[in-house]
Amino acid sequence: MLPYTFIIQSAPAAHAGYNGLMTDTTPSSSSLPLWRGFNLLEKFIMGRHAAYLEWDFDALAAWGFNFVRLPADYRIWTRAPGQYDEAQLKEIDQAIDWGRQRGIHVNLCLHRAPGYCINPPAEPLNLFGADAGGEEARRQFAAQWGMFAERYRAIPNRELSFDLVNEPDRITPAEYLPAVQAAVEAIRAADPQRLIIADGLGCGNLPVPELVGLGIAQSTRGYQPMQLSHYKASWVKGADRFPRPSWPIPPAEGHVTGRESHWQQQIEPWLRLRELGVGVHVGEWGAYCFTPHPAVLGWMSDMLANWQQAGFGWALWNLRGTFGPLDSNRKDVKYEAYQGHRLDRKMLELLRQF
């Protein structure tokens, strides 16, 4: 047993606001529920981290959502390999417990893992490398997930799942597989039945049939077309030169331009993966605050309709912030005052329809 163990022997009593959001169907690697919810970013970046907020869980339960994804930076709770900050881990414990009390599934994700992050700065080791540094990164990566598996082993899959590493990019399936295998083996050594999800390659956009034999689900993304979802995003090269987006966008060969092309390019490949016995979920999606609001709402409506038709759940990036329905600072939205926040009511009600 690892030194930091968070064990719940039985499910907690339902919160007063619980309204049966959690599906009674036990999720499996081949069949995921229609989870609908948001990414919560309190542990997203070291140095900006904070405790999760119970208010978020109350609001999501009241609005009828049943899922949160927690993208997290391992450095926040890791003092050295194998040495963890219990105070930080207890804040994750608390978020999971709040979700359980309200029938909201919690998906824990390493947005920054030992050896890889899609965002700068680069990790000192390469999780996908073939050298000794890669082996060490995979050892640390597996140790992280082994710790979490032991810590949460008593929590059922209907309440908690693991998303191994956020948006692997610029690697081959053969380079990805050893890292995934290492984490899966560490998790199953402590908790053989834990529901595990792996992001697709190409920043989550490409299904990875090479992982099918591991018995895990996969997560895709919903940011296409980037010229709409990331219009004027400072972290995307050239986004300041994207044309002002509308929806549908003008036809462009090989790009998502409307609902039909989205289905063909972003849904059908994942349906083929699901036919191989792999559950699929959209772990992130959304549009940045500079995209004109009518285009955002029209695009969101088509994305949601396609995912509903396909049977894919989703998690918007984010709840509070520049992509979400709360405090997004969009200049073309008439906000509603809501419990100390500025609510984009049109976006919220659109999300609640699906």
Q: What is the pLDDT of residue 26?
A: 86
Q: What is the largest CA-CA distance in the chain?
A: 57
Q: What is the pLDDT of residue 251?
A: 86
Domains of the chain and CATH, by start? 36-352 (3.20.20.80)
Q: What is the pLDDT of residue 254?
A: 77
Q: What is the pLDDT of residue 8?
A: 33
Packed helices 293-310 and 345-352: angle between N→C axes, nearest 10 degrees: 10
Return the amino acid letter for 168: P
Pairwise CA distance, residues 277 & 332, whole Å: 43
| Distances from the Cα of 2 to the Cα of 68, 85, 186, angstroms | 26, 13, 12
Pairwise CA distance, residues 127 & 140, whole Å: 9
Per-residue tens of pLDDT for the chain, all 354 residues: 333 333 333 333 333 333 334 444 689 999 999 999 999 999 999 999 999 999 999 999 999 999 999 999 999 999 999 999 999 999 999 999 999 999 999 999 999 999 999 999 999 999 999 999 999 999 999 999 999 999 999 999 999 999 999 999 999 999 999 999 999 999 999 999 999 999 999 999 999 999 999 999 999 999 999 999 999 999 999 999 999 999 999 888 779 999 999 999 999 999 999 999 999 999 999 999 999 999 999 999 999 999 999 999 999 999 999 999 999 999 999 999 999 999 999 999 999 999
Contact of 258 with 248, CB cutoff 8 Å: yes
Pairwise CA distance, residues 63 & 56, whole Å: 11
Packed helices 132-151 and 173-190: angle between N→C axes, nearest 10 degrees: 40
Whether the predicted model's global pTM rises above the 0.75 cut: yes
Contact of 291 with 229, CB cutoff 8 Å: yes
